[in-house]
Chain A
Amino acid sequence: MTRKRRRMVLVLAGLTALSAAVALVLYGLKETVTFFYSPSEVQAGAPPQGRAFRLGGLVEEGSVKKQGDGLTVEFSITDMAVSVPVTYRGILPDLFREGQGVITEGDLGTDGTFVAREVLAKHDETYMPREVADALKESGVWRDEEGSK
């Protein structure tokens, strides 16, 4: 084996071992790296008990109710299978509306209502002009946002 060949094998072997190690670490961290939980995961008891976590999904159509004080909002977050009621007191992001993907951070109350301290809007990866979006909706080929899994 020439010196160059030996160095090449060494570099390749090092990279392979390193990739395997990193893959294992990432696999082990899978739970921790997850930024938010879906309503189904919440129902299954996946989030840590008694600790704040993030809940993500779509704002259920027709679920948004503004309270009299103008700041408190009640809505449900759904993943089309399970929906969780949420209350939030504060300013909502511009993109917040029914059918929009959102991520909220807060605690799950004993009555099953999620009390959010922060609401972030999650937009999907589709970009298009407004006229195209309207035309798609009109012709009925619009698929609902699938921004949040």
Chain B
Amino acid sequence: MHRFANPGRFLRLSNVILPWIAVLAAGLIAVGLYLALFVSPADYQQGESVRIMYVHVPSAWMAMFIYTVIAAASASSLIWRHPLADLVAKASSPIGACFTFLALVTGSLWGKPMWGTWWVWDARLTSVLVLFFLYLGHMALMGAFDSATRGARAAAILALVGFVNVPIIKFSVEWWSTLHQPASVLRLDGPSIHPSMLWPLLAMGLGFKLYYLALMLVRVKSELIAARLNARAATAAQLS
């Protein structure tokens, strides 16, 4: 990882791989949506409304995955002062917040017909709502200081402190009795979901991951270019 912490090398590499990732993400999401909405069967219990799963579950995965990326980037920013780590964290949190919001909204829309309620304060739903607020806090802290470095440092500490919430979300459905059912895919005795429904779900999951990667690279690139322009403007102002 340390080799790519050099901004120039990062820019050259991301220029090469970005189009591939973007095309792959669009393709996987298109195929995944087609499989999910037209090919995969209705569930024996839930009927057609099970199709909300193909958006809800990948969004929830991304909510936790992106937070983990932010926490890792924050640790490497605090410890090794990598110049790119803060940018990765800054670029990621709005994307993560959007995915968390999507997971909450689709979950609510799914909960009403299946459970009979839009929302309950059980351990899973509440801990995901806390994750959403952590994202918002991270975004706010980033911009709360005059100096970008101080903002990034404060946000990095928040991200690391908030990381304890990620295992809580994952295991909430096992530690406590909740309305939300336990995990179907990432479990010790193998997925409890039929292959005809698992494959579309995995395609969507991978598509969402690549989509995040593409979006994150674009955002880091634009931050780097903006920093260069600022530096150039500053030198020009000094010279004149």
A112, CB-defined interface residue at 8 Å: no
User: Which A residues lie within 8 Å of B41 (CB)?
Assistant: 129-131
Picked from B113, B177, B193, the residue with its CB within 8 Å of the CB of A126 is: B193
User: Which B residues lie within 8 Å of A30 (CB)?
Assistant: 176
- Please state if B117 and A120 are interface contacts (CB–CB under 8 Å): yes
Q: How many residues of B contact A (CB 8 A)?
A: 40
Bound Cα distance from A36 to B187, whole angstroms: 23
Contact status of A93 and B116, CB under 8 A, knowing A127-B194, A129-B42: yes
Picked from B114, B120, B178, B193, the residue with its CB within 8 Å of the CB of A128 is: B193
Contact status of A4 and B80, CB under 8 A, knowing A129-B42, A130-B41: yes
Contact status of A122 and B164, CB under 8 A, knowing A4-B79, A93-B116, A128-B193: no
B229, CB-defined interface residue at 8 Å: no
- Please state if B114 and A123 are interface contacts (CB–CB under 8 Å): yes
B6, CB-defined interface residue at 8 Å: no
Contact status of A56 and B184, CB under 8 A, knowing A8-B79, A18-B161, A129-B194: no
Q: Mark B163-179, 1 if CB is under 8 A from A, else 0.
A: 11000100000011111
- Please state if A93 and B114 are interface contacts (CB–CB under 8 Å): yes
Bound Cα distance from A118 to B78, whole angstroms: 49
- Report the nearest B residue to A94, measured CB to CB: B113
- Please state if A35 and B177 are interface contacts (CB–CB under 8 Å): yes
- Please state if A130 and B115 are interface contacts (CB–CB under 8 Å): no
Interface of B is mostly: loop
Bound Cα distance from A22 to B194, whole angstroms: 36
Bound Cα distance from A123 to B44, whole angstroms: 11
Interface residue stretch chosen among B45-53, B86-94, B101-109, B141-149:
B45-53
Contact status of A120 and B115, CB under 8 A, knowing A125-B183, A125-B192, A127-B53: yes
* CB contact list, B116-149 vs A, under 8 A: 116-117, 120, 122-123
Question: Which of B's residues lie within 8 Å of A, judged by CB?
Answer: 41-46, 50, 53, 75, 78-80, 113-117, 120, 122-123, 160-161, 163-164, 168, 175-179, 181-184, 187, 192-194, 196-197
Q: Can you add 11 more A-B contacts, CB < 8 Å, to A35-B123, A94-B114?
A: A8-B79, A26-B175, A36-B179, A118-B117, A125-B183, A127-B192, A127-B197, A128-B44, A130-B44, A131-B41, A132-B44
14 residue pairs of the A-B complex, CB under 8 angstroms, read: A4-B79, A8-B79, A11-B75, A15-B160, A35-B120, A35-B176, A37-B177, A92-B116, A120-B116, A125-B181, A128-B43, A129-B44, A130-B44, A132-B44
Question: Which of A's residues lie within 8 Å of B, judged by CB?
Answer: 4, 7-8, 11, 14-15, 18-19, 22, 26, 30, 33-38, 56, 92-95, 103, 118-134, 147-149
Q: Which 9 A-B pairs have the closest CB atoms?
A: A93-B116, A129-B41, A133-B44, A128-B194, A35-B122, A127-B193, A125-B184, A130-B44, A125-B181
